[in-house]
Amino acid sequence: MGFATLQLTAFDCPEPRRLAEFYAAVLGGRIEGDDEWVDLHLDGGQRLSFQLAPGFTPPEWPRADRNSQQLHLDLEVEDMDAAHAKVLELGARELDVDDGKHPGFRAFADPAGHPFCLVTG
């Protein structure tokens, strides 16, 4: 049994409020914060936070030698095609959407460049 509880997951980024708004549009929730630190409080008690990082360099997908992805979110969706279209509309960009190796997974970068996957099933 562990001795700690996960409080939040924080993302470095150049525009904390903009990135929080992107994830709020995808996941729902309530945004709080200022220009340097923004929290997205999700239904169910989870929290994503976004921290101003001047000079931020986004991770690269997939890379192991430099600027690796470091971490990513898997977001489960019911309708992959509808969710795919919606995240692009919100400012995401495609990274790996149909390689045939991972059916039910599509990889994207959020507006700051952090990778995330849409997942079905």
Residue 106: count other Cβ atoms within 10 Å of its Cβ: 23
Q: Are strands 93-96 and 73-76 parallel, antiparallel or unpaired?
A: unpaired
- Give the tens place of pLDDT for each residue, 20-47: 999 999 999 999 999 899 999 999 999 9
Range from 3-7, 14-18, 53-57 that averages highest in pLDDT: 14-18
Looking at the structure, tell me whether residues 36 and 48 fall in a common domain. yes
pLDDT band at 61; cut points 50, 70, 90: confident
The DSSP bridge partners found for residue 93 are: 109
Say whether pLDDT at 15 is over 90: yes
Structural domain count, the chain: 2
| Between 62 and 13, residue with greater pLDDT | 13
Residue 1 falls inside a structural domain: no
Residues 86, 92, 94: CA angle, nearest 5 degrees: 100
Query: pTM here?
Result: 0.81
Looking at the structure, tell me whether residues 50 and 63 fall in a common domain. no
Helices (H), the chain: 16-27, 80-89
- CA distances in angstroms from 53 to 12, 37, 96, 102, 112, listed in the order given: 5, 10, 26, 32, 11
Q: Which residue range forms the structural domain that includes residue 39?
A: 7-55
Q: Which helix (H) or strand (E) holds 73?
A: strand 73-76
Say whether pLDDT at 58 is over 60: yes
Task: At 113, list the tokens.
Answer: 């460049």
Looking at the structure, tell me whether residues 22 and 71 fall in a common domain. no
| 43-54 mean pLDDT | 92
- Give the tens place of pLDDT for each residue, 88-101: 999 999 988 776 66
Cβ(61)–Cβ(71) below 8 Å? no
